[in-house]
Amino acid sequence: MNKTVLTAIIVVIAMLGFTYAAVELAGGVDKLIKDGDLVNILAIIGAVIIVTVTSFVVTKYVRQMQNDKVSGTLSEESWGGIREYNNELPMGWAVAFLGTILFFIWYLLIGFPVNSYSQIGEYNEAAKKYDQKFVEQFKNADEKTLIEMGEASFMVNCAPCHGLQADGMDGKSADLHQRISEKSVKHVILNGSNNNILGTGMMMPDRNGLVNMTTSAPITDAEIDAVAKYVAGNLKGSVGADVFAGTCASCHGADGKGLDMVGPNIAEMSPALVDMVLHSGKKGAIGQMPAFKNFNDVQYKALDAYVSSLSKK
């Protein structure tokens, strides 16, 4: 017997032996049949077929390389003295190529997972129905319940950046116990803002577009420092109050609580403000927070309630 064929037979026997041993460790074929485990039964059959066919196909081509001689007509083209034979495409290659194309078309239009059962699809449908049930159950939840639910959502989705205590982890992100920091106020004044905070594309201009109406002059560095301290200090004290009244109040209101479709609330962390940031994201002095699009309506309300309650504690 040819040495190559003998090697192939030994490899097939060894691989089938390993397959049998693996099946026995899992309880044996009888157990798979008894349990109706069709997936693993088909996997075993497929493994046997693949090992056998692969071994003998490799053997065929190895022997062919050992024994066959080159024949055919050389092509007229030459690449550095090298010419190719004009051999016909092997029938097996042509069939495999066309078969692959047909399989792709079938898989794309008819086969799994587009129009067939999928475990992931079943899970997604079940999760969607549960979410709908959850929304219906808690759509009229009171504020206390929303805050408790919001805290749980915060721990999963927000704490990795804002910290377990929502303190921003030493400036790595926003401290949610205050409406806005002095650093953030300065950043917005110097660079402007277009973070869709009001749900619109309206933009706050940078310092070049801000004028202190009291003095009718562009806002100065000293005024920026003063009004930043004033806003970050919850609009308390006298330092910066005149700058705020002359420059900021026209859009944000005299009390800083914002004007509809004009300027956002900068005096307090309101649920509406939190909701806009969650939906649109926010870019500021620290970096960029992404928008969160994967919550249901109750989850948004719960996070809005919880985060806005932090600055009131």
Q: 146 Cβ partners below 8 Å, 6+ apart?
A: 301, 302, 304, 305, 306
Q: 168 Cβ partners below 8 Å, 6+ apart?
A: 162, 174, 175, 176
CA atoms within 13 A on the CB side of 232: 17
For the chain, the domains span 3-87, 127-310
pTM of the model: 0.60
Which pLDDT score, from 0 to 100, does residue 199 have? 64
Residue 202 backbone dihedrals phi, psi, to 5 degrees = -65, 140
Which pLDDT score, from 0 to 100, does residue 200 have? 63
pLDDT in tens, 214-258: 778 889 999 999 999 999 998 988 889 999 999 999 889 999 998
- Number of helices and strands (H, E) in the chain? 13, 4
More confident residue, 164 or 193: 164
Torsion, CA 40, CA 45, CA 49, CA 50, rounded to 10 = 0
pLDDT in tens, 82-121: 888 887 788 888 999 999 999 998 888 877 655 566 777 7
Which pLDDT score, from 0 to 100, does residue 1 have? 54
Amino acid identity of residue 205, one-letter, is: P
Which pLDDT score, from 0 to 100, does residue 28 have? 79
> Rounded mean pLDDT of 59-77?
78
pLDDT in tens, 258-310: 888 888 889 999 898 899 899 988 888 888 899 998 899 999 999 999 999 99
Which pLDDT score, from 0 to 100, does residue 25 have? 79
Q: Exposed, middle or buried by CB within 10 Å (0-12, 13-18, 19+), for 217?
A: exposed
